[in-house]
Amino acid sequence: MSTIDIARVALYLAVLGALAWPLGLYMARVYEGRPLFLLDRLAGPLERLVYRLCGVRPDEEMDWKTYACSLMVVNALGMLLVYALERLQGALPGNPLGLPGVSPWVALNTAVSFASNTNWQAYGGESTMSLLTQMLGLTVQNFLSAATGMAVLAALVRGLARRETDRLGNFWVDMTRGVLYVLLPLSLLLALALCSQGVVQTFSGEVAVTGLEQTAGQPGGRVSEQRIALGPVASQEAIKQLGTNGGGFFNVNSAHPFENPTPLSNFLEMLAILLIPAALCVTFGRMVGDMRQGVAVLAAMSVMLVAFLALGLSAEQAGNPRLAALGVDQSAASSPLEAARPGGNMEGKEARFGIVDSVLWATATTAASNGSVNSMHDSYTPLGGLGPMLLMQLGEVVFGGVGSGLYGMLVFAVVAVFVAGLMVGRTPEYLGKKIEAFEMKMASLVILIPPFLVLIGTAAAVATGARDAVANPGAHGFSEILYAFSSMGNNNGSAFAGLAADRPYYALAGALAMFVARYWLIVPTLAIAGSLAAKKRAPFGAGTLPTDTALFAGLLVAVVLAVGALTFIPALALGPIAEHLMLFAK
């Protein structure tokens, strides 16, 4: 990496940290129900109206089972609404292009995908979904699924902070406040900023553009015309990034110039991907009364993010050795900042972003359970593609989705203190709460279910005719299948491409994987929260492992990497690792 490259990455991380700290403190006020000053005046009446219309008693708190049931009800209703909109969109208004209803299996896959905060897309957005479906179905679910993840985190943090109670808060209040006081204001600000950069926001279905070239086979004849899809893109783009949703309005996602036209829009969207997940670490520290706890978790996440970013940049800037051997120019001089670099893999990357911004986005989006792309991961070098794939396979805890990433990392923290307790022969404790058999059983479910879904789904696809949906044979084709199930089984949503994901097997198996990976993890997480809330706080003693130090952050990193490596290295050896070795085979 050049000095300029390092400076660009450092600037991104510095701005992220500078914004995450105050936002994290603000979100702590939101979930603790403390005054929010101007926003109380603006959104307070709407919040109270929502409670009255829905019959919610905001002062009534719930135990973990009631919290989980309420969550499942609202998410199930969201799935049904999106499915109905997709199937009936041909007969509904808000469809200027006259698009027909979506096929049953793709509609089911999409409904589960957007409700579960995965936003996996087995379709081309501009050619499949009407404007009404995009706005009322998909965009609304972007808000609700993100607010659901943050609500579960708030309940878990209360479980760690409270003692001798079974109350974890009120799900309806947590979800409502997350939408009104966090997601909506941030989305409005980002949408306006994106509009200023040229991201489109219109109810028009398409625009006709006259090309400069003549129609093929007709010299001197009529000039060609192209029809380009339009829509309310900026509003969906904002919550897509801030809520770590990732579902793009257009098929090529944020590589499309109408979603991401300039380097500044690219920077803002990359910043939005990690902003709330990073800020929630600060929120966690404030809500448990010890900011060092949040900083330790944030440090562990940041170390892994930077390590995987370095791997991706080194692989992509090295280029393809097969092309180099043939004397092919792999110049990465796509911008003045990269003009001096002699080579690099620019395949599948936008010239207006170059290698650094493409790899930084790919690393952030797969670390944060976002899934949006500004370059095609299928075109990365084998090791360049391995990084994003492994980041998902670690469990989406390196920042991860809004709420879900941090509560996943806190589950790993529970495992880390348990391992440390075994080493010294002492009952493990985390934030003064003893970690016992029940918590470890629930933590095991949270950690082991996603790898099970990924490996079983991949094995079934390879062992059956479903492998015919892969365009590329050999190791790369296996990587495409493994990446797809890694994405769906960890609620990420990005794709390696080269895979006919709208086939019935992938649509239905993917829907099952996304549903289980979301809700079969949320329930045991809430069970842990309920168990911890009922416990007394144990006093800190000489044998207690401090969990706010660099040593614990390092232990946490080691546990996350060990679980990921032991689980997925054999599968990765058949895909990207084998493909990398084949590049050097004679």
Q: Could you read off the pLDDT of 6-19 as tens digits, one per residue?
A: 899 999 999 999 99
- Per-residue pLDDT reduced to its tens digit, 382-417: 999 999 999 999 999 999 999 999 999 999 999 999
Which pLDDT belongs to residue 342? 54
**Is this model's pTM higher than 0.85 or not?**
yes
Is pLDDT above 90 for 228? no
CA 274 to chain centre: 9
Is pLDDT above 60 for 216? no
What's 543's DSSP letter?
T
Band of pLDDT at residue 327, cut at 50, 70 and 90:
confident
Is pLDDT above 60 for 455? yes
Q: Which letter, b or e, does each residue of 441-468 get, where b requires 16 or more Cβ atoms within 10 Å of its Cβ?
A: ebbebbbebbbebbbebbeebeeeebbe
Give the residues across from 434 on adjacent strands.
429
Parse the chain into domains and list their residue ranges.
3-209+226-583
Q: Which two tokens stand for residue 160?
A: 């760690």
Is pLDDT above 90 for 220? no
What's 545's DSSP letter?
P
Which pLDDT belongs to residue 293? 96
Which pLDDT belongs to residue 556? 95
Band of pLDDT at residue 343, cut at 50, 70 and 90:
low
Q: Under a CB-based contact definition with an 8 Å cutoff, are residues 345 and 328 in contact?
A: no
Q: How far is residue 49 from each of residues 17, 57, 182, 468, measured CA to CA in Å? A: 35, 12, 18, 53
Which pLDDT belongs to residue 338? 59
Q: Under a CB-based contact definition with an 8 Å cutoff, are residues 26 and 276 in contact?
A: no
Q: Which H/E stretch holds residue 214?
A: strand 206-214
Is pLDDT above 60 for 156? yes
CA-CA distance, 25 to 284, in Å (whole number)?
A: 9
Which pLDDT belongs to residue 67? 97
Q: What percent of the chain has pLDDT over 70?
A: 94
Q: Which H/E stretch holds residue 9?
A: helix 3-32
Residue carrying the six token digits 């994901």: 501
**How many Cβ atoms are within 10 Å of 86's Cβ, its own excluded?**
26
Q: How far is residue 3 from each of residues 204, 338, 375, 471, measured CA to CA in Å? A: 45, 11, 23, 39
Band of pLDDT at residue 72, cut at 50, 70 and 90:
very high
Is pLDDT above 90 for 421? no
What's 464's DSSP letter?
S
Residue carrying the six token digits 């000039």: 223
Nearest-CA neighbor of 134 among 243, 241, 235? 235
Between residues 220 and 541, the one the model is more confident about: 541
Is pLDDT above 70 for 129? yes
Band of pLDDT at residue 448, cut at 50, 70 and 90:
very high
Among 245-254, 322-331, 499-508, 515-524, where is mean pLDDT lowest? Answer: 322-331
